[in-house]
């Protein structure tokens, strides 16, 4: 059998009777319908990828615009929460302690809180300094609670550190302050000595501008 390459395959077969039979076969071409479907499928895939890319871009673009819009809305709200100049001015007050006699206290207001200003006697100062730190629930020295050169002045927020009641001055078991709500006792430095209060009376930030002028806050 002889086979020739080309568009047709030609073969010779010798039949039983001696005659030669010629057989012609053709190589099948791809079905047009298959080619058509393949082309449509390719185009559809490309269109799907293009659609996906456009959709992803729209998601990213929309998210970016949304983030910018949210920031534009939130910033004015945050800015409104910032205190104005008048509020900031009230955050710091000045008080002249020169008129307070020794052994007396006054109560002033700072940031809406009551504040004790005590002009201590020499005996009160010595009593506070003589207390061992080991006896204190919230250990602080007297020097840590006053300013150098102004040890006679004790300035504290007038709220019990238990539940916020206002203690009574010059009372209690340690000659300092006593909270009538739940029985906390503070000494002459305002330190907790007995009762449920966990901490000493809080000393606010302050400084002496002069010998008698105090700035709190």
Provide the annotated active-site residues: 182
Structure tokens at 199: 């901490």
How far is the C-alpha of 151 from the C-alpha of 144, rounded, in Å?
Answer: 10
How far is the C-alpha of 90 from the C-alpha of 13, rounded, in Å?
Answer: 117
Q: What string of H, E and C letters represents the secondary structure of the chain? A: CCCCCCCEEEEEEECCCCCEEEEEEECCCCCHHHHHHHHHHHHHHHHHHHHHHHHHHHHHHHHHHHHHHHHHHHHHHHHHHCCCHHHHHHCCEEEECCCCCCCCEEEEEECCEEEEEEECCHHHHHHHHCCCHHHCCCCCCCHHHCCCCCCCEEEEECCCCCCCCCCEEEECCCCEEEECCCCEEECCCCCEEECCCCCCCCCCCEEECCCCEEEEC
How far is the C-alpha of 22 from the C-alpha of 43, rounded, in Å?
Answer: 44
């Amino acid at each position: 059998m002889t086979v020739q390459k080309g568009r047709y395959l030609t073969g010779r077969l010798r039949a039983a009777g001696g005659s030669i039979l010629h057989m012609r076969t053709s190589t099948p071409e791809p079905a047009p319908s298959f080619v058509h479907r393949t082309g449509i499928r390719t185009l559809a895939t490309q269109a799907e990828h293009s659609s996906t890319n456009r959709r992803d871009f729209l998601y990213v673009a929309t998210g970016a615009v949304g983030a910018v819009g949210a920031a534009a809305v939130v910033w004015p709200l945050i800015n409104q929460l910032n205190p104005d100049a008048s509020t900031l001015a009230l955050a710091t007050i000045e008080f002249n302690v020169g008129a307070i006699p020794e052994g007396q206290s006054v109560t002033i207001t700072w940031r809406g809180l009551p504040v004790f200003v005590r002009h201590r006697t020499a005996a009160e100062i010595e009593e506070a300094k003589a207390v061992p730190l080991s006896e204190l629930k919230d250990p602080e020295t007297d020097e840590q609670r006053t300013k150098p050169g102004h040890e006679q002045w004790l300035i504290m927020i007038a709220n019990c550190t238990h539940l916020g009641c206002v203690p009574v001055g010059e009372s209690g078991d340690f000659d300092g302050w006593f909270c009538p709500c739940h029985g906390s006792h503070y000494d002459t430095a305002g330190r907790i000595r007995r009762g449920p209060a966990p901490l000493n009376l809080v000393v606010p930030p302050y400084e002496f501008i002069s010998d008698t002028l105090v700035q709190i806050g």
